Structures are given as structure tokens and as C-alpha cells.
Copies of this chain bind each other. A is one copy, B any other.
Amino acid sequence: MRMLFKELMIVFIFMSVSISANADEGMWLYNDTPYQLLKDRYGFEPTSAWLEHVQKSSVRFNSGGSGSFVSENGLIISNHHVGADALQKFSDAEHNYYRDGFYARSQKEEKRCLDLELNVLMSIEDVTDRVNAAVNPDTNPEEAFVARRAAMAEIEKGSLEKTGLRSDVVTLYQGGRYHLYRFKKYTDVRLVFSPEQHIAFFGGDPDNFEYPRFDLDICLFRAYENGKPAKVEHYLKFSSKGVSEGDLVFVSGHPGNTSRQLTMAEFEYLRDQYFPYVLQRLNSLEVMLLAYSARSDENARRARDTLFGVQNSRKARDGMFAGLMDSQLMTQKQTAEQALRTAVAQNPNAKEVLPSWERIADAQQVIARNAQHYNLLEGAHAFNSTLFGIARTVLRAVEEKAKPNGERLREFRDSNLESLELQLFSEEPIYDDFEQVKLADSLTWLVKQLGYSHPLVQKVLVDRSPRQCAAELVLGTKLKDVAVRRKLYAGTVADVEATNDLMIELARLVDPEARSVRKIIETQDEIKRQAHAKIAQARFAFEKTSSYPDATFTLRLAFGTVTGYEENGQAIPFQTTLAGLYKRAAAHHYEPPFDLPRRWIDRKNKLNLNTPFNFVSTADIIGGNSGSPVVNRQGEFVGIIFDGNLQSLVLDFAYTDFQARAVSVNSQAIIEALRKVYGAAELVDEIVGRKRS
């Protein structure tokens, strides 16, 4: 379940530059596909129509994952764990859709998601020159960052006004390129079908990131426009044949973030500071959430999606951290960096590149010194509360909206306000008790990090214990009421100041320090961006191969072979079957997390147990690819990505196809289960393209 991106955004996103590609490596840009590589390696030459079709069939879930259209009537398939955010938000004490599943037998029953936004990439335009033209290379980094941000905001605003499409300037190759991505946006998205969590996530945390697997990790939505199912030109034809060993397959999705082109200084920071911190925080959150969940079924339901996210992140990061303690991997990185530095040093034309590594190392040291405060304040690790997030957004919105578009914090740029408002005015349920527990725990985290006597701690707690403080804050805010949010958001700075809302007061109390540390980090990021751009250009020049940028949660095309691997001397077959599911459940006495939903037990006899269930391939994927369609040469949907194995966790830092594999659900299993376990004949008909009778 590593593929979910939102849980990966806990601290910083590190950006990086391209590398030359080997084997099935690569998260390729749609406007820079590796034609030659595919031709040489697989004898496959995608046409531009093929590429456009797959691109426009691909869907980004802004809650943190991927998906694809699978019918002309706007039907979208993604993972259960990508849909989890939506499932959680419209469940209540009586309806636990996340755990128990859902099926709308008619369009009328399809259930609208509260704040889900989907994006479909319609076009890409290179705006590198326009962005760079705004930045005077001799100016200081602080001003350079501000100028660059302003240029991006203006390009986005202009594009939105001109095309009506969501428009984002995307930084690629760590500043080597800036592309303007235009998206068709869907905000009326309705749930059509979800299986039970027990079959979507069969094996739970123990089986997460492992293989062989037996998970029906799917979820079906429908995009609506003007109150009617969206008619889409591009959607993937569902293959009833699935995959065979050795097949070439493509993955079209949104890998969230990779760190392959970091410098050694950045890798060491990750190993020595970032991962120890973030794992410590995740462990603390997991224990808090488990303790809260154990108190009652209803608590467990309220915390379910959050707990899943934390456990998923923890297991992923454990694996990544292990990768950074692998001396072979680090030696490779070190050797490659040294080789490039030597080459640069020996080339008189590359002189100005040479100081880049030192500049990054210096910037990284400044970041390292400020990371704790950044995480606690700007990352709100000290204030883990939905209401605090709302309070800060309201507080900053009225301040930022009063400024010119280009001078605002980036999330408040004009072109982003609609998406921001969708989140801010969400009717997502907020539970006082859960808010208090999370907030008290995170205030305690603040004390643990800085020490009780730290002025910031004293300023926040004012002689109250974290528990008392959290209770007063949650009971002293009216922000649970969406109408209150709307009113304040539409008002002025003075209006917001005039409210006595305690949560807004807290946000205001820490905002100067939060903004100030954010500015430090953003400035250092600009220094790194400029230095990385130079290193990237040197690498292009020396290595002269086609390349792809590190992942940035934008649409990418990966490819690979369907194939098993060897582990501890044992051959791991490329696919599992439905029979294997029942075998594994029985081996664990059907006890959680190896229990099966009732209907899977009752309808076992109806199933063809030889149906292929999950399979692996060498495609290059990472968190964010969850829900990505797996397509064959014909552009047909043959499966859906939902995980990578443990050995794939190092893909954050370097590609390998030795044992690392992407894990998918086979399209055949989806049809078999929908038809025979869920009796969803109409849905199957729609997916396989039969007209309804």
C-alpha cells in the first residue's frame, strides 16, 4: 500500500535532477517519452494517439493517488486505499463504508464525495524561459525565490483565465525545466463501488509491502458534470485476459516524490536527521491512534483512515531508512557523485558548476538547523488537529488575499483558490474527542522536542498541561461550523481579529515564527534549486542520454516486464490466484488481519479459484502511483497498481529490478469478484463495454 502519496508529504519534499536510465528504469514525462529505449528493448513504438489516449484516460486523485477512466460514462477505477479518504469522510457511526464497503445499484444511489478533486492532464507547455526570465541571476536567493514564485503565479493565473483549466507550473529537474500543466478538473465525484476493507487490505500491516499478495484493492467512482455522469472521450478498455509472464506493461500515474538525484550531503541529512525524526514521530502517532481506537468501535472507525496512513508510512519509511543504511547503495551514490565532480573539475567550460555541491551542502546545513522548528510550526506537528489547520488557513487567507497575487504564500495564488476552498469548506465530520486527543498528543510532542521550559512551549501552554490546553482550544472554537468558516474567509483581517476564537488565536500566536522559518527553508530551497539546475545541465552534457526527472506527483509513464523473482533461494511466481487467498486465510485461522468478509466465504464455491489475483512487474513506481492503471501494448487496462514489495522501498533512492517489484490486481480478478462475489452485473457490463439491457 505504499503507493498513497499524501502520507509521504509529512516533512519536506526534496527535489532532484535527472539521471541516465537503465533497464526498466524511469518515470517518464508524457512530452519526453523514451521512444528509442522502448523500441530497442521491446520493439514497441507508441504512436502519439496511443500516448494521448493513455494520458487522458489517467486521473489524478488530489487526496494523494492515481486512477483511470474505464467507461465512457465517467467511471473511474482506483484503489480502495486511495478512496479511503472519501470513504472515511462520508461514513458515520451508523455507516462504516470504509470497513464494510458500498455498492450503488443505480446511478441515483451513487454517493457524492465531500471534498474530492480529480485532475486529468490535458496539455503541457514548456515555460522555463518565462520563469527564469523573472529571476535576476545576481539577486540574492530570498529575492530570487519571491520573483520566481510571482512569475509562476502570474503564468498560472493567465492560463486559468484563458482556458478555464486548472493550471499549475511544475518544477522539474529541480529547476532545470518549468512546465505548465493544464488539467480538466472534476469536483463532483461519486462513489459507485467499494469492497470491504478486509479484502481490499487482506493481510493488513503484516502483508503490506510484501509479496505474494491477495488483495482486491479497488474502488470505483464516477465523475459528474452539471449533475450528470461525465461523458469522456478517453477511457481504457478493460482487458478480460489480464497479463502473462514476460508481458510488456505500462503504468500511467502520479509518482509522488523520489530522491534519486540528491547529493551525498542531502542523503546524509535524510539518513541522519530526517528519517530518525520522522520515524520517531510516526511511532508516537501510531501508539496514540491505536490506544484511541482500542477504546470503542466508534473510536476505531473515526481513526481508521488516519491510522492506516500512519502505519503505511511507517512501514515504507522503515524500508527506506534501511536502504540508506545499506553501505553498497551509499557507496554507489558516493562513487557516482565523485565521478561527476571530477569530470566537472576537469572541464574548463563547467567551472561554474563546481561550487554547486558545496552550495547544496551549506544550504542543507541551514535546513537541518531549522527543520525541527519548521516541522513543529509550519508542518504543524505541534498542532495535530483538523481545526487548527482550518484556523490557520482562515487566518492566512484574509491576510494573503489582500496582497497582489504574486506576493502571496504559494497556496493562496489566485489559480489555486478554488481547490483550496473545496477543502476549507468541506463538510468532513470533525469529532471533539478525537481532536482533543490528537492535539494533546501533539502538544506533548512539542514539549518532548523543545523541552518544557522553551519560550515557545510556555507561550502556547501558559501553565496548562497539554491535555487541559487541548480541551480548552477545541471547546473554544466555532470553526466546526462551515458557515462560520465561510463568513470569516469572506471577511477582512479586522473581522478575523475581532473573533475570540481560541483556535484562531493559537494560529495567530505562532504564525510570525511559522512564517519566518518557512521563509528560511524556501530561501535555502531556492539556493539548492539553482545549484541542482547547474549540476543537471552538467549531467546532460556529460552523460548525453535520455532522462526523466525525479517524481513530483505529476503524470508519468513507466514500463516494465511482468516477471517473478528469487528470494532466499526461492522462486516467487509472478502471480497469485484466488485459491491462494483462501489458503492464506485458512493458514491464519481466518483471524484478523487474515479474516475474510462473510460474502467471500459464502460465495467461494461460485468462484473460479484459478483466476489470477495479484501480479508483479518491474515497472518503476513509488508512492502516489497507487491506483495507476497497468496497460498493455494495445492500451488496454490489464491491472491496477496498489503496492510495491519490501525490496522496492529503496526505489526512492535508486532503481533496481533485482527483486524490487510493483504489485497489481489483475483485471480478471476484478471482473470475477464483481460478478460473483458482489453480484454487480451492471457494473461489469459497463466496464467490459456491454450496453446495459
Q: Chain A: residues with CB nearer than 8 A to chain B?
A: 204-206, 268, 271-272, 275-276, 279-280, 283-284, 286-287, 290-291, 294-297, 314-315, 321-322, 324-327, 444, 447-449, 451-453, 461, 463-467, 588-589, 591, 593
Contacts and interface: CB of A to CB of B under 8 A. Distances in A.
A272 B325 contact: no
Contact of A279 (B205, B275, B448): B448
A588 B149 CA distance: 54
A448 B280 contact: yes
A325 B447 CA distance: 9
A295 B322 CA distance: 20
11 contacts: A204-B294, A206-B294, A268-B453, A272-B452, A280-B280, A280-B284, A280-B448, A283-B287, A291-B315, A322-B466, A325-B465
B593 A325 contact: no
Contact of A588 (B286, B296, B451, B467): B296
A206 B291 contact: yes
Contacts of A290: 290
A294 B465 contact: no
Contact of A451 (B272, B287, B448, B464): B272
- Majority DSSP secondary structure for residues of A touching B: helix
A692 B321 CA distance: 63
Contact of A326 (B268, B287, B451, B465): B465
A272 to B, nearest CB: 5
B452 A271 contact: yes
A447 B275 CA distance: 11
A206 B287 contact: no
A466 B325 contact: yes
Please name the 6 residue pairs, one residue from A and one from B, whose CB atoms are nearest each other, closest first: A276-B448, A283-B283, A327-B463, A206-B295, A272-B451, A206-B294
Contacts of A284: 279-280, 283
A325 B448 CA distance: 11
Nearest to A591: B297
Contact of A286 (B272, B287, B327): B287
Nearest to A210: B295
Contacts of A205: 291, 294
Contacts of A297: 588-589, 591
Most B CB within 10 A of own CB, among A315, A444, A591: A444
B314 A287 contact: yes
Contact of A453 (B272, B283, B588): B272
Contacts of A291: 205-206, 315
A287 B313 CA distance: 13
A452 B325 contact: yes
A284 B280 CA distance: 7
A322 B589 CA distance: 41
A382 to B, nearest CB: 14
A518 to B, nearest CB: 26
A444 B287 CA distance: 19
A448 B325 CA distance: 11
A14 B315 CA distance: 36
A280 B286 CA distance: 12
Contacts of A591: 297
Contacts of A452: 271-272, 324-325
Nearest to A275: B448
Nearest to A445: B276
A368 to B, nearest CB: 12
Nearest to A294: B206
Q: Most chain-B Cβ atoms within 10 A of its Cβ — which of A204, A279, A291, A588? A: A291
